Amino acid sequence: MALRAVLFDFNGVLVDDEPLHRALTLQVLGEAFNLEVSRAEYRRHCLGRPDREAFRAVLEARGLAVGDGALAALMRRKTELYRERAAPKDLLVVGVQALLADLVGRGMHLAVVTGSGGEEVSWLLENTGLREYFALIVAAEDIQRGKPDPEGYRTALGRLGREPEEALAVEDSLAGIEAARRAGLRVLALTTAVPMHLLQRRTQWVVDRYEQLDLDAVVQFYGRAAPLPPSGGSA
């Protein structure tokens, strides 16, 4: 079956803002709870996960129970800081605009599937000139369960009217890769957040930069490949 849709994660895949997200997460937790979070803790609890789940996971690991109101306040503060500090055009992943234009030119349907909030995603896409490429955004408020749950990818496929074997996911985190695989998708990984050797075990393609991607080869692969069964069961 031919490749018809490409579903992109957002942070680390379209915009290279993972360092900014980490800094802001640590700042917000420091302000509210006087917590210091190590890189290992951040990677374990936060990378690739929606802010609500990330904040909850870090706090619960420290024995702190928080309600929805407190989590919402943390998320608002982080969004406020993000708007103050982000320079959208400077955050674009190198080569992404050319790739998006190539995919649209080939008739692909493109979507964003992310644990970030829709307001933040739309703001960044509008301010980087990328919004026009995407037929659909599935953000944190559109789903009940964030990555590694496959709900976001399944929602995007349903709204686009595409089957898993017609689609490719583009990810950079292990949680995102697991979500895509559980939805039955093949995955292209970018080495923004995780070393290549860890990504190679879990994905069909890995690149350091989009310029390294042989898109013709990927498209041809879909034309001759058998469907990929979902991995890790359903949730």
Mean pLDDT, residues 201-224 taken together: 95
Can you tell me whether residue 19 is helix, strand or coil? helix
> Residue 28 pLDDT > 80, yes or no?
yes
Q: List Cβ neighbours of 130 (8 Å cut-off, separation of 6 or more).
A: 14, 92, 96, 97, 100, 124
Spatial strand order of the sheet with 167-171 comes to 136-138, 109-113, 5-8, 167-171, 186-190, 205-207
- How many angstroms separate the CA atoms of 97 and 77, rounded? 30
- How many angstroms separate the CA atoms of 28 and 44, rounded? 18
> Residue 234 pLDDT > 50, yes or no?
no
**pLDDT-above-90 percentage for the chain:** 77
Q: Which of 17-31, 82-96, 217-231 has the lowest mean pLDDT?
A: 217-231
- How many angstroms separate the CA atoms of 78 and 174, rounded? 23
Among 1, 11, 49, 46, which Cα is nearest to 186's? 1
Average pLDDT, the chain: 92
| Whole-number pLDDT of residue 229 | 64
> Residue 156 pLDDT > 90, yes or no?
yes
pTM above the 0.85 mark? no
Cβ–Cβ under 8 Å, residues 112 and 121: yes
| Whole-number pLDDT of residue 116 | 87
Domains (range + CATH), the chain:
5-16+89-224 (3.40.50.1000), 18-85 (1.10.150)
| Whole-number pLDDT of residue 235 | 37
Q: Which residue did the predictor score with more confidence, 229 or 131?
A: 131
Identify the sign of the CA torsion 231, 225, 1, 167: positive
